[in-house]
Amino acid sequence: MFVPDPYREPNTTWMVDLIRRNPLALLTTNGPAECGPFATHLPVIQDPGMTAEWSADLSGSLLLGHMNAQNPHWSALRDGDSVLLAFTGPHAYVSPTVYQKIPAAPTWNFTSVHVHGVIEKIESEEETLTVVRSTVRAFEEEFGTDWNMEGSVDYFRKILPGVGAFRITVSRADGMFKLSQEQEPQIRDRVRQSFAQRKCSLHRETADLMGRLP
């Protein structure tokens, strides 16, 4: 991902927060010439077994995910394949009317993290169950209502043959936080305020990130 210097994340926590708050990633890999690339939307979490701190470019980090085992993408994956996970965070259209100057051009403020890594397919049903349970636990804590999964574990076991779980060892990541940094401070603040006043949650979340810029 091409990231101009003004749009780089102020520190690593911005990339980590975006991944945690927007865990539905697009997993892409190269396919054969007759098929083209594969792309699958799927939920991704940090591996609970990861004990090291996140590095500046996230290298060495461990991520877990799973997909439908009937997906041709799953059949095409091989241990050691290079993969790309694309995470999208808050984004919003910027109308030139907000700038209050002429000439001006419209644009789109957006946030994204591209994670490169190497995939390892998890073949054991017990390990796959651990991935499913870890995913439920992470998402219930962050987005859910503390649902107790224990009454459904037997059901989980029944559907495990249809689940393709994997681990990704991150080699590097790039974060793009395009939040009007190229504009003069007063214009950037007008954009932020216009977003903050909108009903759309994406606009308000983008405004919040703009307010956190150094």
Predicted confidence at residue 55, as pLDDT, reads 96
Tokens 């939040």 correspond to what residue? 179
Handedness of CA 46, 48, 54, 58 (dihedral sign): negative
Q: What is the pLDDT of residues 3-14, one digit of tens each?
A: 999 999 999 999
DSSP assignment letter at 71:
S
pTM score, whole prediction: 0.95
Residues 6+ apart with CB under 8 A from 213: 10, 179, 181, 188
Residue 65 structure tokens: 């995910």
Q: Are strands 62-68 and 163-178 parallel, antiparallel or unpaired?
A: antiparallel
d(CA 84, CA 114): 7
**Beta carbons of 204 and 196 less than 8 angstroms apart:** yes
Predicted confidence at residue 34, as pLDDT, reads 84
Q: Using 70 as the pLDDT threshold, list the residues of the chain that sit under it.
A: none
Q: What is the pLDDT of residues 63-85, one digit of tens each?
A: 999 999 999 999 999 999 999 99
Residue 89 structure tokens: 């965070």
**Beta carbons of 4 and 175 less than 8 angstroms apart:** no
d(CA 209, CA 204): 9
Residue 168 structure tokens: 């990704």
Predicted confidence at residue 32, as pLDDT, reads 85
